[in-house]
């Protein structure tokens, strides 16, 4: 999904129907801010889980809201307000962008409050929807929140709204002698199409590894490459289609370029299942320095019943000529020797594909002859990797 530009304005109809409406507040509406302060302070006095003192005053909270609206004018915050048919403020919620410059895509949803007499009509859902839409329009990609562990009704609301638990801080909320958990939750909004979703992979600015460590859960490092088990991320499927749909990467492919972007995800899911079942397979290949996906490679059986592993590699044309195919080929042969000892590794190469022939030769593979496949004649280069001691 592409990011949408511009802040959202206008009202969002509450799912409760015409009895109340939710809108994102624009500008310094002093009457509305005073009403929101009164609503939230009353909730704090009732002991609701808002992270506020029970003796917080309305003037104190109004000052907080004024600072919030200053941030909102810069696109770094937002305040949603629910009004009953007579204009009375009966609910509110807010979001604030992370103060860290490198986390501007992250924002926190906070202080979702609905007055007791207005509950059960969908206003909480409408407020969360309004906040998510406003934050997304401001360029926020992930919305997070902290819920008190004993506030099960709120947690259930957030889960219905697409938030997922991502962690917990145990017994850190102090209410008198009682200690409660903080439940950490997040919801992904829209991502830009060019985002590289690296997660915890050791790539990109600031990446580091302990001395001597070259592999982790779902990845391994070579000299210049990061080889990753396929993950169900949108950037992986997009990169797969972009590389396999490029005419330049299909010059020697009788089947021709890929034409359907939707066909990428099922292929990656198949690869993922093989990894889970066998412990090896095809990788997503990333540039270790920046983390960008530059190709796909590895070893796995292609046709059920065949007695060899297929060596596969395909790279974006922008990185051709750098020796990446040879580098990943060596890693693939080592993986095969470890996980499938004694099984031949075969590269089936079209006779005119001289670059791939040179890669196979550099890897020590030997030409065994020609074979007939579905789309024509291929050269069969093969090697049985030496067993790992």
Q: Order of strands, edge to edge, in the sheet holding 215-216? A: 215-216, 219-221, 225-228, 282-287, 293-300, 309-315, 345-349, 376-383, 366-373
Structure tokens at 236: 């992986």
CB contact at 8 A, 196 and 161: no
Averaged pLDDT score across all residues of the chain = 92
Half-sphere exposure of 138 (CA within 13 A, CB side): 28
> For residue 234, what pLDDT is reported?
83
Q: How far apart are CA 293 and CA 303, in angstroms?
A: 27
> For residue 95, what pLDDT is reported?
98
Q: Is the pLDDT of residue 3 over 60?
A: no
Per-residue pLDDT tens digits for 351-389: 999 999 999 999 999 999 999 887 789 999 999 988 765
**Is 183 found in the same domain as 94?**
yes
**Is 234 found in the same domain as 178?**
no
**Is 53 found in the same domain as 176?**
yes
> For residue 388, what pLDDT is reported?
64
**Is 46 found in the same domain as 175?**
yes
**Is 19 found in the same domain as 150?**
yes
- pLDDT class of 199 with cuts at 50, 70, 90: very high
> For residue 20, what pLDDT is reported?
85
Residue 333 burial (CB < 10 Å; 0-12/13-18/19+)? buried
CB contact at 8 A, 106 and 188: no
No. of H helices and E strands in the chain?
8, 17
Strand 345-349 and strand 309-315: the pairing is parallel
- pLDDT class of 328 with cuts at 50, 70, 90: very high
CA nearest to 29, candidates 89, 86, 76: 89
| Mean per-residue pLDDT, 120-140 | 96
**Is 288 found in the same domain as 244?**
yes
**In 3-state terms, what secondary structure has residue 104?**
coil
Q: Is the pLDDT of residue 12 over 90?
A: no
> For residue 194, what pLDDT is reported?
86
> For residue 161, what pLDDT is reported?
97
Per-residue pLDDT tens digits for 67-106: 999 999 999 999 999 999 999 999 999 999 999 999 999 9
Report the domain count for the chain.
2
Give me the residue label for tokens 């609206």: 69
- pLDDT class of 183 with cuts at 50, 70, 90: very high
Q: Is the pLDDT of residue 276 over 90?
A: yes
CATH number at residue 60: 3.40.630.30
> For residue 246, what pLDDT is reported?
96
Tell how far CA 369 is from the center of its chain.
Answer: 45
**Is 371 found in the same domain as 293?**
yes
Q: Is the pLDDT of residue 7 over 50?
A: no
Does some domain include residue 33? yes
**DSSP state letter for 303:** S
Per-residue pLDDT tens digits for 223-264: 999 999 998 788 899 999 999 999 999 999 888 999 999 999
Q: What percent of the chain has pLDDT over 70?
A: 95
- pLDDT class of 303 with cuts at 50, 70, 90: confident
**Is 347 found in the same domain as 239?**
yes
> For residue 16, what pLDDT is reported?
42
Helix pair angle (152-160, 123-137), 10° resolution: 50
**Is 148 found in the same domain as 230?**
no
Per-residue burial over 352-384, b = 16 or more CB atoms within 10 Å of its CB, e = otherwise: ebeebbebbeebebeeeeeeeeeeeebbbbbbe
Residue 57: which domain range?
11-188
Does some domain include residue 274? yes
**In 3-state terms, what secondary structure has residue 86?**
coil
Q: Order of strands, edge to edge, in the sheet holding 11-13? A: 11-13, 20-24, 77-84, 89-97, 106-114, 142-148, 178-188, 164-175
**Is 108 found in the same domain as 65?**
yes
State the pTM of this model.
0.84
Per-residue burial over 190-207, b = 16 or more CB atoms within 10 Å of its CB, e = otherwise: ebeeeebebeebbbbeee
């Amino acid at each position: 999904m592409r990011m949408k530009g511009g802040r959202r304005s206008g009202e969002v109809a509450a799912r409760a129907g015409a009895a109340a409406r939710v809108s994102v507040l624009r500008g310094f509406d002093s009457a509305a801010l005073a009403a929101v302060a009164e609503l939230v302070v009353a909730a704090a006095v009732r002991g609701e889980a808002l992270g506020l003192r029970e003796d917080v005053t309305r003037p104190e909270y109004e000052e907080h809201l004024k600072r919030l609206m200053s941030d909102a004018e810069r696109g770094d915050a937002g305040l949603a307000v629910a009004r009953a048919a007579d204009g009375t403020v009966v609910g509110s919620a807010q979001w604030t962008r992370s103060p860290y410059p490198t986390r501007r895509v992250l924002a926190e949803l906070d202080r979702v409050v609905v007055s007791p007499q207005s509950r059960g009509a969908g206003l909480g859902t409408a407020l969360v929807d309004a906040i998510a839409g406003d934050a997304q329009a401001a360029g926020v990609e992930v919305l997070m929140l902290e819920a008190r562990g004993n506030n099960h009704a709120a947690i259930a609301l957030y889960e219905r709204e697409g938030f997922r638990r991502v962690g917990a801080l145990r017994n850190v909320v102090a209410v008198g002698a009682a200690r409660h958990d903080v439940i950490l939750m997040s919801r992904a909004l829209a991502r830009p199409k060019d985002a590289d979703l690296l997660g915890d992979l050791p790539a990109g600015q600031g990446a580091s590894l302990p001395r001597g460590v070259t592999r982790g859960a779902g990845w391994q490092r070579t000299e210049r490459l990061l080889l990753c088990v396929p993950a169900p991320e949108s950037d992986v499927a997009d990169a797969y289609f972009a590389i396999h749909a490029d005419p330049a990467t299909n010059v020697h492919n009788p089947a021709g370029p890929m034409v359907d972007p939707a066909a990428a995800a099922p292929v990656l899911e198949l690869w993922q299942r093989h990894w889970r079942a066998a412990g090896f397979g095809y990788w997503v290949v990333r540039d270790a320095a920046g983390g960008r996906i530059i190709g796909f490679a590895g070893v796995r059986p292609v046709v059920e019943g065949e007695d060899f592993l297929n060596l596969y590699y395909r790279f974006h044309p922008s990185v051709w000529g750098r020796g990446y195919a040879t580098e990943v080929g060596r890693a693939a042969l080592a993986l095969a020797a470890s996980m499938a000892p004694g099984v031949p590794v075969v590269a089936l190469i079209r006779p005119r594909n001289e670059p791939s022939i040179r890669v196979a030769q550099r890897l020590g593979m030997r030409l065994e002859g020609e074979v007939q496949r579905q789309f024509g004649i291929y050269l069969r280069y093969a090697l049985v990797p030496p067993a790992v001691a």
